[in-house]
Amino acid sequence: MYTNLKSLLKTERLRLTSLNEKDILSMEQWYNNVDFLRLYDMTMAFPKSSAQLYEMLNEKRKSNNSYIFAIRTLEEDKFIGVAGFENILWNNGTSVVFIGLGDEECRGKGYGKEAMQMLLNFGFQELNLHRIQLDVLSYNKAAIKLYESLGFKREGVYREFIHRDGKRYDMYLYGLLRYEAENYM
């Protein structure tokens, strides 16, 4: 695991930063891309306006139980995705992690894994979490492969949880404990 705080939010290719106003315009494009929504969000794949996104982000920023980051390339400072924690239960040391690479050109290049490693280190080292969990749709094979490569264990199945395009899909619950993560960082 990383031991230096500066290393927690930066790798050789990426860094995690706060979101800015310009980022919301990029996010609006992503939220109008049905393919992105079908992988990222469990709710109805419905476009969101910049005003709706701004309101959603403000709610997360105000919360004591969530963190949201912009994922940026280090070299070009290009905004490529969002990631963070929500539903943090401080007394239990648990949280839900989320990630979405909105820039299609950046998918399949290892950026998701790098960003998740930074998040996990931040969660376990800085937030002192004991358990980090996530939900993933059964048809999101790339995400499942990523999460399992980082040591996440499938702990449950929400059978036929999502209704998309006239079909039902399972949603999986994955979890990772602090001592398990040390083998993958």
Q: Is residue 39 part of a domain?
A: yes
What confidence score (pLDDT) does residue 37 get?
65
In a domain, 77, yes or no: yes
Count Cβ neighbours within 10 Å for each residue of 125-164 and write b for 16 or more, e otherwise.
beeebebbbbebbbebeebbebbeebbbeeeeeeeeebee
Residue in the structure block whose two tokens are 């401080």? 90
Question: Rounded to whole angstroms, what are the CA distances from 122 to 31, 90, 108, 178?
Answer: 27, 15, 23, 11
Question: Over the stretch 103-144, which tens digit does the pLDDT of each residue have?
Answer: 778 788 899 999 999 999 999 999 999 999 999 999 999 999
**Which of 93, 98, 81, 100 shows the shortest CA–CA distance to 23?**
81
> Where does the pLDDT of residue 8 fall: very low under 50, low under 70, confident under 90, or very high at 90 and above?
low
- Total number of domains constituting the chain: 1
Residue 164 lies in a domain: no
26/5: higher pLDDT: 26
DSSP 63: -
pLDDT for res 44: 59
- What is the residue range of 110's domain? 5-133
Find the CATH number of the domain harbouring 71.
Answer: 3.40.630.30
Do β-strands 94-101 and 131-137 pair in parallel, antiparallel, or remain unpaired? parallel
**What are the backbone dihedrals phi and psi of residue 23, each rounded to the nearest 5 degrees, phi first?**
-65, -30
When pLDDT is averaged across residues 152-169 and rounded to a whole number, the result is 94
| 37 assigned to some structural domain | yes
Crossing angle of helices 111-121 and 141-149, in 10° steps, is 50
The answer to the question of residue 153 being in a domain is no
Is 169 within the bounds of a domain? Answer: no
Q: What are 120's two structure tokens? A: 């996990």
Answer whether residue 182 is part of any domain. Answer: no
- 95 contacts 46 by C-beta, under 8 angstroms: no
Flag whether 72 is in a domain: yes
